[in-house]
Amino acid sequence: MQNRSERDTFAEMYAQRLARLWAVERGLAFGRLDHVEEGRLYIGKLGLTDDEQNRLLIDWRAPVAQPFYRATPAAPMGVTRRRHLQVKGRTVVGVDDDLLDLDSLTDDDRATLNGEAALLAALDEKRTGRMRDIVATIQAEQDRVIRADVNGVLVVQGGPGTGKTVVALHRAAYLLYTHRERLERRGVLVLGPNPTFLRYIEQVLPSLGETDVLLSTVGELFPGVTATARDLPAVAAVKGDTRMAEVLARAVREHQRVPRKPIELKLGRYTLTVDRNMLDAARNKAIRSRRPHNQARAVFVRSLLNALARQTAKKLGRGLIDEDDLADLREELRTETVVRAALNRLWPYVTPQGLLLGLYGSPERLGGAAGQLLTPQERALLQRTEGEWTESDVPLLDEAAELLGEIDEQVLRATAVQQEEERASELAYAREVLELTGLSDIVDAERLAERQRGDGPYLTTAERAATDRTWAYGHVIVDEAQELSPMAWRVLMRRIPTRSMTIVGDIAQTGSAAGARSWNSVLDPYVAGRWRQHELTVNYRTPVELMAVAAGVLAAIDPELKAPMSVRESGGEPWSAPLEELAELVKAEVGEGGKV
């Protein structure tokens, strides 16, 4: 027994070591620090040395790697430049620099800068007092965002070209490193507008895509559903409105209505009658339990079966019965096909998908649930046949799941039996594999089956969170947050009960019909008076000439909003042309070697 225990311990140790080595193959090295004292250091997923014990790669958790996550221009921690490496396999395919100390740059350094750092260095090269002040302003604003307290809701409001997304990602890295123990248990959710953005995160900060961070879009927040289709703006606006929460609640209540007329159940030699009083009593007990619909079903069923059991006892002439007799009769009734069918009709199990498709596919059912909440035109927009789920459907599915709850324990037990049968099959296959490979002395079949199944001890925080709809995260970061609908915000707030959030966006750029028009309207229902805002005021990407035009558009949208100060000149003036000429203009631009 002791030998087996030691063998299992070693097997798990080697398996974990092997898993770590496989994991670091992708993005082994992801960063570089140009340090005043330490020289050039490469940061990666584990530490490596050469035969002479010279450091080749620094483990990201090592103290000397701390500036990669925590250094900012206001507190550079002895670092002049931080470089992010974009790696494909073992090939570096791109680099992106953060400039932490402008004064230390040599001409050679300036020539090799990439990304954000190159833009800042270009501004600094002008060497005017105004430009130096502007660079200092940019760095100070970014520093305040990155180092802001992890607790509470932080809104990062920034116009185009202010670098708000990159700053938010650096904040994610800073928080993960600084509050590692707290956040690694619950994980961090980074919510982006689309898969392209998520790929960008992995490129800019590959160290974020490891074990504690789930990168997701709204369309991926409901486990088992990946929404790739998009609704028309008018449809998305209706689905994103909080009125839909009440529509869904009413739809659930429609599944809890009881018939007015008695129901007769023929059981062999006798007939049982389910009358209105029995149904009302069972329904009221279920509703008073304050459980979600599917879990309240157990209360409804037990109450009704108790009433039917007493009725059965009378018909059989038993008179008074004790609790044990009642339980026996209840279980006998539960096995009767006619009784089960009646219970399923009276209080059916409902899935989120079934509830939503039932509304979409039935004008009568939708009309009954929506009542006066939605106009006839809005109800018509929601009608459709089965098809792909859209991003706007996902918050509705999540809302429905919250109202419905999980299927009750008895159904789960049946599912567990099926899972146990599958597990036994996997275990038999694992034993066969070990016998064929001769590895049975190194790892036992149970561990191999666990690894193949994916539910063993090696699931990361992010992997567990991705499959658990009720997971509560340690922190949530939202980019392009102005595009989220009110229903999507309900989903997010359920995921972060501590309200530890970084919200990044620009109210002036809202493009979604269901999106936000002010941060107050988004946050006041959840954290009224308890959120703070940092504004990025300098646009160092978009040229002055373009922003002059954009400022006029912004003033027309909302006179109270201020455009960020643009500081880079292009030397060219913007021009406009009719939309009908677009194809020819693009063709001419490409033909002249231009970039579109």
pLDDT digits (tens, 9 = 90+) for 108-119: 666 666 666 555
* Predicted pLDDT of residue 593: 62
Buried b (16+ CB within 10 A) or exposed e, 30-53: bbbbbbeeeeebbbbbbebeeeee
* Residue 373 located in a structural domain: no
Residue scoring higher pLDDT (53 or 558)? 53
CA distance 461 to 83: 27
Q: Give the number of other Cβ atoms within 10 Å of residue 316's Cβ.
A: 12
Q: Which of 139, 161, 195 is the last residue of a domain?
A: 139
* Residue 76 located in a structural domain: yes
pLDDT band at 442 (very low <50, low <70, confident <90, very high): very low
* Predicted pLDDT of residue 347: 95
CA distance 443 to 437: 11
Residue 71: is it exposed, middle or buried by C-beta count within 10 angstroms (0-12/13-18/19+)? buried
Pick the most confident of 203-217, 352-366, 453-467: 352-366
Pick the most confident of 69-83, 120-134, 456-470: 69-83
Pick the most confident of 126-140, 149-163, 275-289, 436-450: 275-289
Residue scoring higher pLDDT (434 or 570)? 570
Place of tokens 């740059």: 105
- 418-435: average pLDDT: 62
* Predicted pLDDT of residue 508: 87
Percent of the chain's residues with pLDDT above 70: 78
pLDDT band at 127 (very low <50, low <70, confident <90, very high): very low
* Residue 307 located in a structural domain: yes
pLDDT band at 209 (very low <50, low <70, confident <90, very high): very low
Q: Which of 104, 124, 139 is the last residue of a domain?
A: 139
* Residue 428 located in a structural domain: no
Q: Retrieve residue 429's tokens.
A: 């296959």
Tell me, yes or no, if the pTM score tops 0.85.
Answer: no
- 440-462: average pLDDT: 57
DSSP state of 565: E
| Interacting residues of 133 by C-beta distance below 8 A, sequence separation 6+ | none
CA distance 218 to 593: 38
Q: What angle do CA 347, 352, 355 make, to 5 degrees?
A: 60
* Residue 105 located in a structural domain: yes
* Residue 534 located in a structural domain: no
Q: For all residues of the chain together, what is the average pLDDT?
A: 82
Buried b (16+ CB within 10 A) or exposed e, 127-145: eeeeeeebbebbbebbbbb
Residue 565: domain span: 539-596
Residue scoring higher pLDDT (422 or 596)? 422
Name 476's bridge partners: 189, 501
- Are 545 and 569 contacting, i.e. CB atoms less than 8 angstroms apart? yes
* Predicted pLDDT of residue 553: 81
* Residue 310 located in a structural domain: yes
pLDDT digits (tens, 9 = 90+) for 1-25: 555 566 767 776 776 666 666 666 6
Q: Which of 295, 311, 346 is the last residue of a domain?
A: 346
* Residue 66 located in a structural domain: yes
Residue among 482, 476, 522, 479 at smallest CA distance from 501:
476
DSSP state of 104: G
- 528-532: average pLDDT: 93
- Are 214 and 387 contacting, i.e. CB atoms less than 8 angstroms apart? no
pLDDT digits (tens, 9 = 90+) for 221-277: 999 998 988 899 999 999 999 999 999 999 999 999 989 899 999 988 889 999 999
pLDDT digits (tens, 9 = 90+) for 337-384: 999 999 999 999 999 999 999 999 999 999 999 999 999 999 999 998
| Interacting residues of 115 by C-beta distance below 8 A, sequence separation 6+ | 95, 96, 97
* Residue 384 φ/ψ region, left for φ over 0, alpha for ψ in the -120 to 50 degree band, beta for the rest: beta
In the predicted structure, residue 525 carries a pLDDT above the cut 50: yes
Q: Tell me which H or E stretch contains 453.
A: helix 445-453
- 400-421: average pLDDT: 70
pLDDT digits (tens, 9 = 90+) for 172-189: 888 888 888 888 889 999
Residue among 526, 480, 502 at smallest CA distance from 150:
502
- Are 165 and 479 contacting, i.e. CB atoms less than 8 angstroms apart? yes
* Residue 451 φ/ψ region, left for φ over 0, alpha for ψ in the -120 to 50 degree band, beta for the rest: alpha
Residue scoring higher pLDDT (311 or 420)? 311
Q: Give me the number of domains the chain comprises.
A: 3
